[in-house]
Amino acid sequence: MTSAPQVTVFGSLHYDIAVMGPDRPRKGETVTGTSWHPKSGGKGGNQAVSSARTGVATAMIGAVADDDFGQALLANLERKNVDRTFVRRDATLSTGMSVAIFDADGDYGAVIVSGSNLTLGEADITAAQGLLDKTTVLVLQNEIPDAANVIAAQAVKKAGGCVLINAAPARALSEALRAEIDIIVVNAIEAEMLAGVPVVETLEGAVEAARLLARAYAKVIVTAGGAGLAYADRDGHEIVMEAVKIKAESTHGAGDEFIGVLAAQLALGVDMEPALRQANQAAAKLVATAEKDRV
């Protein structure tokens, strides 16, 4: 492609409620929290903001409702320099939202309600065809329907762009979608689901999972939390990268930060290893920053 670098994120927008507490509750347990705050999120929204922060032109294709949550999400995209021209206002369902509960160590568990994200489909791709025709890297996730991802991926591949999917949350991918994927990024849980074999969250486990998944996907990145990441492709190339050593404040959003920076670097034409290094460092910086101090 000869046009300027363009990252397009097709995916989810959620209005997040983050709750801080000493621990996450067990079944039937009530835990007294210490604070809470709202946050604009959704894997798609987070990844778009992360990409735009690098200075690469970034656009979002998504859907929100005509409610306060939706208005807040649109305002956040605009404030963070993400083109929101193709974020549709939907009148049938409420805006997607999530509740994330953090423990004292910064780890969390979350529940998402997809809402308007589930309405994304062919009409959204048709409306954004001009954007997709000039997209260098398309970023997808599993928080919207598989069928919608297929249509978006086919449009970008036809125009000569690259399709990157962060296959999270874990779910089976259709054969039609698998055929369009250039790069797949998964964590240990997602790798285990797709590979059908146990995956240990270590560098060694990530390497083995990446090798296994490279039989089905052209380029595979398996992240292993605080251990690091592994890359493998069909040509037999491998990259193993340890995590940057930091004091963790919160792991929330680390994966999305990684994806956004990686997509931006690849759109700029950066080779895979330095692109992974930049993404790895960006994710570490986010994890070292307390939730309340994130911009």
Angle at CA of residue 137, ends 189 and 109, nearest 5°:
30
Beta bridge partners of 36: 19
- Over residues 258-287, mean pLDDT: 95
Q: To 10 degrees, the CA torsion angle through 215, 217, 219, 222?
A: -80
DSSP class per residue in 203-240: HHHHHHHHHHHTTTSSEEEEE-GGGEEEEEETTS-EEE
Instruction: Enumerate the H helices of the chain as residue ranges.
Output: 43-53, 68-79, 122-127, 129-133, 146-158, 175-178, 188-195, 203-213, 254-267, 272-287
In whole angstroms, give the CA distance from residue 10 to residue 16. Answer: 19
pLDDT tens-digit readout, 94-123: 999 999 998 988 788 889 899 999 999 999
Q: Label residue 200 by pLDDT band (50, 70, 90).
A: confident
Tens-place pLDDT, residues 179-198:
999 999 999 999 999 998 88
pLDDT for the residue numbered 121: 97
Task: Indicate whether this model's pTM tops 0.85.
Answer: yes
Q: For the segment 227-271, what is each residue's pLDDT rounded down to a tens digit?
A: 999 999 999 999 999 988 888 777 677 899 999 999 999 999 999
83 pLDDT higher than 70: yes
Question: Would the pLDDT of 11 be above 60?
Answer: yes
**Mean pLDDT for the chain?**
94
- What is the spatial distance between Cα 107 and Cα 23, in angstroms, rounded to a whole number? 9
Q: What is the pLDDT of residue 295?
A: 66
Structural domains of the chain in order of their starting residue, each with its CATH number: 6-14+43-95+117-181+244-293 (3.40.1190.20)
Angstrom CA distances, 14 to 95, 96, 131, 221, 233, stand at 7, 5, 23, 25, 32
